[in-house]
Copies of this chain bind each other. A is one copy, B any other.
Amino acid sequence: MKLSPRYLELQLAHTFTIARSSADIEPCIIVELEHDGIIGFGEAAPSERYGENKTTVMNFLKQVDLTRFKDPFQLDEILSYVDAIAPHNTSAKAAIDIALHDWIGKRLGVPLWKLWGLNKELTPVTSFTIGIDALDIIEKKVKEAEQYPILKVKVGVPNDEEIIKTIRKVTDKVIRVDANEGWKSKEQARDKILWLEEQDVEFIEQPMPAHDLDGTAWLREHINIPLIADENVIQLYDLPTLKDAFDGINIKLMKCTGLREAMRMIHTAKAMKMKIMLGCMIESSVAISAAAQLSPMVDYADLDGNVLITNDPFRGVTLSNGKLILNEKSGLGVESR
């Protein structure tokens, strides 16, 4: 098995700003895993929030020696080995996991959704993300997002209310709000959310800093719409800790190390009767298509990373009025443009 990573920069259509950061380009590492004449594609979209960047991903991938394994079917053995190389580095690990799954699907001649016994008609409608921006730009973005029936709005800044009012002025679409840990006290978060409830917001993602789980549990008792964990849920073992603080979880392949761990988290969240959202970073169609393969199992999708960029090097999952459309191609169902 041969692993070849290449670095590229994803160009954002608009400067992308959330509570803690702002960017015009985002790093992306595409990996090709070649074995027995078949190439599996994977992708790492590193996030500084989790201590990763272009350099950490490339350095991690350099340490991965897959020649010791027989073939990509050995998922448990390979992924245990990769996981033990170093802690964290979750997007680098996800790149390998995704490439292995693409290879297996291609080898068996079936798309992953079929390999997993899922119903591809049950994919959800993805939300379209409106980043933090000047109010006139936000209004323009909302108008441009006409084809998307659900908006995910980034807040967690002093003028949150103005942002929401600006959007509500031009649309009555479903709005989901993502604070990205931006509210610093539980009382502030409560006041913000009680106001947002009046603006007909469906749910709130990660209102408080991840370290303040007790504050979030208090908050949940004082509001009426669901709270979805994002920065608070990285991998499987985090789930049982969230029971009192959150109603649901946002699973991202780049946080959790890939499809195999995401599947485990989906089953566990269902057992706990928590809502499940599939989210993303700014990603190409490789990683977005990978997550989309799991999407018939989840309640909410926020898989718009590839439509926020202008130079996607791949095509895979598509959208029809926001609904994720899986194809019949093997593996991830992606091909180079």
Binding site for B on A (CB under 8 A): 73-77, 79, 104, 108, 110, 114-119, 122, 236-237, 239-240, 243, 260, 263-265, 267-268, 270-273, 296
Contacts and interface: CB of A to CB of B under 8 A. Distances in A.
Which among A110, A119, A236, A267 has the greatest number of chain B C-beta atoms within 10 A?
A267
A265 to B, nearest CB: 8
A73 B270 contact: no
A121 to B, nearest CB: 9
A117 B236 contact: no
Nearest to A237: B271
Contacts of A122: 76
Contact of A236 (B104, B236, B264, B271): B271
13 contacts: A73-B110, A73-B114, A75-B116, A76-B117, A108-B108, A236-B267, A240-B243, A240-B272, A240-B273, A263-B267, A264-B270, A265-B271, A267-B268
A320 B273 CA distance: 41
Given A73-B114, A76-B118, A265-B271, 9 more contacts: A75-B116, A79-B117, A108-B108, A108-B110, A236-B267, A236-B270, A236-B271, A264-B271, A267-B268
Q: Count identical subunits in the complex.
A: 2
B271 A117 contact: no
A104 B118 CA distance: 13
A76 B264 contact: no
A68 B104 CA distance: 29
A111 B108 CA distance: 12
Contacts of A236: 267, 270-271
A104 B260 CA distance: 20
Contacts of A296: 76
